[in-house]
Structure 1
Amino acid sequence: MPFAMYFPLHYTPSYWTRLRRLLLVAALLMAWLAMPTRSAAQSPPDVVINEIMYAPQPSQNEYIELYNRSDADVNLSELSYANGYREFAPVTDSSVVLQAGGYAVLVRTPSQFEAAFPEVPYLAPDGFRALRNSGDTVVLRYGETNIDEVTYVPSWSTRDDAALERVEPNAPSQAPFNWQSATAPAGGTPGFQNSVFTPDSTPPTPLFAQVDADARRITLTFTEPLNPASLASASFTGPERAPVSVEQGDANTVRLFYTEPLRAETLTVRGIRDWQGNSTEATLPLSYAPQQGDLVVTEIMYRPLSDDFDERPNQPEYFEVVNPTERWISLQGLFTTNRPRDTGGADTLNLGIGTQHVAPSGGYAVVYAEPNSDNEASSTLDRAFPTQDLSAPDGPTVIAVPRSRLGLRVQPDRLRLHRADGEPIATVDYHPDWHAPGVQDTRGLSLERISLTAPAANAMNWTSSAHPEGGTPGFPNSVGPPPAEGSTARVSADPSPFAPEVDQATRIQYALPFPPDWVQLRIFDAHGRPVRTVEETVLSGPEGEVLWDGRNDAGRIVRMGVYVVLMEAQNWNDGTSTQHRTTVVVARPL
């Protein structure tokens, strides 16, 4: 029986024609669905330019490395590339699959590449687009869509014979911070993970939060580049109100804008991410632009030791400031200006202080001249003051100005610290006569301030440093240490009796229960007549010692007898004053 007799009569020949057509369409549809092509709705492949060898040795061994940072395979025949001239050419004419997480290397001269990297697979596109040493652009395209583009410049490189490697695949292609010279001995890592890539699980850390002079903007600096998609006003709390807007500066900085002046002391940051997705949460102090009185000049080294043959370390010029306020003070952008000359001009020095320098509440900062900043293992300041740990983690802020001098004159001069807009912060009109009267040679001795609250222009508020190294940069002054807790007032003289011709002098020692702003020691005879002012309003600290050589103010040895030592001290801040006496006997040698 013919095959057609098994079907009902209504199954006509036209039915078979239609059935065959339907089967053909179904087969074509299944074949099309099985083809490894992308639908119109699917996004372009996630392939990036990962390494660029643009100035190799030999000169024609240029290459470009591509990296598939997605989890899907990519057919490289769908991609084309170009240099800055934008004349696109296929990456390959054949069907080559770039696996997820894989690398593909496009080379200019196969023989030279094989000699340099014999085990690395590569593609050699026809008419490789040469890369200019002076800077160029590399573009990667899918169809008519640019999927990646890098415009490099030679300043990105630190090695002449090395490729530029991408630091983080997910960070922006055009960001200079995302490219570095390869550190691999071969000068590159084509076909392998880049030598400059380091897995990062550390969140970005905020380093400094600086409040501008009008207190309506905070500039926040982080340890690493930030993903701008993570920046939001709600990420920043602590001040009285949320910022009205957030703006990214360079890769590592964020600017926060407020409508009213800030008064907060801290800022809390949450949810800010780097390009690896690490998220931060941290609280840091706000550093305010200095206003007048926010910094106090407490020490001036204007006549440092500078003799290479005196067997003593040379000293730099420096000045010291302390922050007496309850908030952190930024030192960025400060200048100094000295006393105007007779012609009317004055010298202004830009200290070149960056955002990383701040003075914490109650903290010290030292600005010094450093002529050898490029080739010395230790600073001039460290060598001049070896017993003072200037580099301790909780130590002072130390700022080196790369010059031989700060312009501090030996004759009477002015140290005026001010902002770039001219706003004065602190001023001292110092005088060499402010040194202790008994000091004959003031070389290598700083002027130290006695009281933070007493006027800076008061000569009684300054004296010579009593430290053996000639100064105390970055630390409490030697003339103003706090007294020991529970100490009592006392004054004594030893030896007594003493003979000036034999003993030379008697040691007058004193101690006070409070930190004084000045101390005066005078000698009276048994009838109450003044004989000698041993120290006239010169402070050596709450605990100090002076010598009396048995002579009067005219320089003659006094007569034998009993003499009274009167010590007077005063604290200007709280009005405390005290007097203490002791006796000393002057004798003649036997």
Structure 2
Amino acid sequence: MRALFFILVPAGLAVCLCVLPIRAQPLGGVSGAAGPIRIDLSVSPQPGDIVINEIYPRPFPSGSEFIELFNRSVHTFDLQDLTIRDASSSPFPLSEEESAFAPGTYTVFVADDIAFSNRFAGVPYIAPARWASLNNGGDAVILESGGVVIDSLFYAGSTVEAGRSLERIDPGAPSDPYNFALSIDTSGATPGAENSQYAPDVSGPALSFVKAFDDTRLDLYFNEPVRTGAIFPASIRVENLVAREVQTLGPNRLRVFFAGSVTGASVAVEQVSDLRGNISERVSAPISYRPVLRDIVVNEILYEPLADDYDGFANQMEFVEFVNRSARRIYLDGIYRTRDPDEYGDADTVRVQGRFIGLEPGEYLLFAAAGMENENAPVVTGKGLTLLNEGDRIRIHREDGEVLDDVRYDPSWHHPDVLETRGITLERIDVDGSGNHPQNWTSSVGPDGGTPGLPNSIRIAGKDLLPERGIQITPNPFSPDRDGVDDIVRIRCTFSSDISRIRALVFDLAGNQVRRLVASRLVAESVELLWNGRDDAGRRLRTGIYIAFVEAYDARNNVMDVFKAPIVLARRY
């Protein structure tokens, strides 16, 4: 087509009217924009005036590579002034003749005009005389005018998918990888039209994750690139502790230094701006701390799941549940689970994939076979999970290899009354007690054979240490009838010495010893023992009154403590 090309000159001089052939670009993806198009020869595109809006590196099953540009300025430019190149090629012109690129419109450049037309019929395009292939493994697209970079996009191979373009999300935001996403259009791309992922950013940044790097340093992660140079120490606070230094680690990541130890639950940052200028007056996020020994422990195990499609019961998947027993939020980055190593020192390993996973106090983490879903807890899946029915070892490690908990379970830990243990989990009774003490484990009474992602059906919670020397029995009476209520009695003692050797027994009212809880063990100032209402042979005892007898001797100071207390064993009817 032909269009009028006007040149405005000062008054008193001749006015030249030139008529030039141009290829007008569609407005908003609609071809055939009517009316004359003015090209202002006095204006050259500046960085950001024209942006790379969509690229199609891997056509499938047919089509052509293409690059779509968007003019986000208020000026009309001549496409003949633009060149483009990739990471390794020299610049080549996008148009061989003068062509108008109007404000608010798209121009599509294609590698193969026939293949493009067959794939996206009716969409206007320009086919440059040269083309630098868009590499599927990652590449750069660099747009220039007169040697000045107008826009550039560097994409990774991991972001490329066959048959789907990479679309710009916000035309006003920088050309960073975070501002591009795979097309969700049914055709896989939107050349010459508004992107399916179009979502202009009109809100300020958010603080998405905070990790305690050590006692005095925090790593802050924002949900988008921010103007890190405009964030000052005085604007960052953990409760009453103010930062003393801020270090930029990336476009959306800061390391913050404090003069004292960081112990608070959350951090707040004031006056945070993204690269588009959207400002958040105040953002905050909980602090996730690095786990230490026994912060996270094994809490529930299903080693022999139901897996028969014809037994009338829902199939299960084996799993190991861990719980955060600490009083603070911990992060799971790099956490992994292993079993016994082989003769070469190698152990089956399942790792937490991804980043920015925090676990609040009392929350659960599941390591499970592939395909398990749980709405109450994050699930880590992997082929190396397999648990042995005859017993196995479960260890959970920090990212540096430090062991956080180590449990070697045995099928004998099931409750003696449970004759068929398939499909029944082992539940830890007391998360603060030993993970390798058989008395601290029992069979679940959950309706589905277990309680993954939920509190154990049989557990001890809400413990209070005795403030002074003595013995305490709770609950009393107790009813070991496997209904999940008061099935276990706790015998808690506080002694006169900081270290003692104890013996703990249970007698009936006739003076007969029915259970030996502890034959001889060194303990600290306080101890908690559990009894399930059975004798030393594992038999259920009759209802009635029993006597807990605990003696502790400190040989260093020749101090003896002897405690006796009644225990009422009852049944529910």
Q: 1:421 aligns with which of 400, 421, 426?
A: 400
The Cα shift of 1:229 comes to 5.3
Structure 1 residues 274 and 459: CA distance shift in structure 2, 3 A: same
Contact 2:320 2:368 in 1 (8 A): no
Structure 1 residues 52 and 368: CA distance shift in structure 2, 3 A: closer
Contact 1:447 1:464 in 2 (8 A): yes
Does 1:579 find its partner at 2:559? no
Secondary structure at the aligned position of 1:241 is classed as strand
Q: 2:490 aligns with which of 501, 516, 519?
A: 516
Structure 1 residues 492 and 238: CA distance shift in structure 2, 3 A: closer
Measured against aligned partners, the alpha-carbon deviations of 1:476-511 in whole angstroms (never above 9, x if no partner) come to 33222569xxxx976599xxxxxxxxxxxx989998
Q: 1:131 aligns with which of 133, 146, 157?
A: 133
The Cα shift of 1:226 comes to 2.0
In 1, Cα distance between equivalents of 2:62 and 2:42: 38
Q: 2:380 aligns with which of 391, 397, 400?
A: 400
Measured against aligned partners, the alpha-carbon deviations of 1:206-263 in whole angstroms (never above 9, x if no partner) come to 3322223x334433344x43244576244532263316233244x6654445576532
What residue in structure 1 maps to residue 104 of structure 2? 101
The Cα shift of 1:418 comes to 2.5
In 1, Cα distance between equivalents of 2:405 and 2:172: 48
TM-score relative to the length of structure 2: 0.68
Superposed counterparts of 1:540-579, under 5 Å: 565-567=544-546, 578-579=565-566
Measured against aligned partners, the alpha-carbon deviations of 1:535-586 in whole angstroms (never above 9, x if no partner) come to 998656xxxxx799xxx9899xx9xxxx9722457999xx9984245899xx
What residue in structure 2 maps to residue 263 of structure 1? 263
In 1, Cα distance between equivalents of 2:380 and 2:110: 48
**Partner AA of 2:566 in structure 1:** Q
In 2, Cα distance between equivalents of 1:576 and 1:328: 38
Contact 1:522 1:534 in 2 (8 A): no
The Cα shift of 1:530 comes to 3.8
Contact 1:447 1:462 in 2 (8 A): yes
Secondary structure at the aligned position of 1:86 is classed as coil
Contact 1:534 1:547 in 2 (8 A): no
What residue in structure 1 maps to residue 67 of structure 2? 64
**Partner AA of 2:171 in structure 1:** P
What residue in structure 2 maps to residue 321 of structure 1? 322
In 1, Cα distance between equivalents of 2:186 and 2:568: 79
Contact 1:479 1:539 in 2 (8 A): no
Percent of pairs with identical residues: 30
Q: Hey, which of these two has a bigger chunk of strand by percent?
A: 2
The Cα shift of 1:49 comes to 2.3
When the two chains are superposed, the root-mean-square deviation of aligned CA atoms in Å is 5.0
Does 1:454 find its partner at 2:454? no
Secondary structure at the aligned position of 1:242 is classed as strand
Contact 1:489 1:510 in 2 (8 A): no
Structure 1 residues 54 and 311: CA distance shift in structure 2, 3 A: closer
In 2, Cα distance between equivalents of 1:108 and 1:336: 49
Secondary structure at the aligned position of 1:460 is classed as helix
Contact 2:414 2:426 in 1 (8 A): yes
Instruction: Tell me which structure has the larger Cα radius of gyration.
Output: 1
Contact 2:83 2:91 in 1 (8 A): no
What residue in structure 2 maps to residue 165 of structure 1? 167
Measured against aligned partners, the alpha-carbon deviations of 1:61-108 in whole angstroms (never above 9, x if no partner) come to 5543322222333344443344552143363533x4433323334456
Does 1:149 find its partner at 2:152? yes
TM-score relative to the length of structure 1: 0.67
The Cα shift of 1:289 comes to 0.8
Contact 2:302 2:319 in 1 (8 A): yes
The Cα shift of 1:284 comes to 1.9
Contact 2:544 2:568 in 1 (8 A): yes
In 2, Cα distance between equivalents of 1:152 and 1:450: 51
Does 1:247 find its partner at 2:248? yes
Q: Hey, which of these two has a bigger chunk of helix by percent?
A: 1
In 2, Cα distance between equivalents of 1:57 and 1:399: 34
What residue in structure 2 maps to residue 211 of structure 1? 212
Secondary structure at the aligned position of 1:219 is classed as strand
Does 1:370 find its partner at 2:369? yes
- Unaligned segments of structure 1, at least 5 residues: 1-23, 374-378, 383-389, 494-505, 541-545, 585-590
Secondary structure at the aligned position of 1:469 is classed as coil
In 1, Cα distance between equivalents of 2:264 and 2:418: 47
Superposed counterparts of 1:268-347, under 5 Å: 268-274=268-274, 277-280=277-280, 281-339=282-340, 345=345, 347=347
What residue in structure 1 maps to residue 495 of structure 2? none
In 2, Cα distance between equivalents of 1:184 and 1:508: 55
In 2, Cα distance between equivalents of 1:221 and 1:258: 17
**Partner AA of 1:91 in structure 2:** S
In 2, Cα distance between equivalents of 1:326 and 1:117: 58
What residue in structure 1 maps to residue 521 of structure 2? none
Give the length in aligned residue pairs: 496
What residue in structure 2 maps to residue 15 of structure 1? none
Q: 1:91 aligns with which of 83, 91, 95?
A: 95
Contact 1:408 1:415 in 2 (8 A): no
In 2, Cα distance between equivalents of 1:508 and 1:183: 52
**Partner AA of 1:579 in structure 2:** P
**Partner AA of 1:48 in structure 2:** V
**Partner AA of 2:93 in structure 1:** A
Secondary structure at the aligned position of 1:516 is classed as strand
In 2, Cα distance between equivalents of 1:118 and 1:474: 52
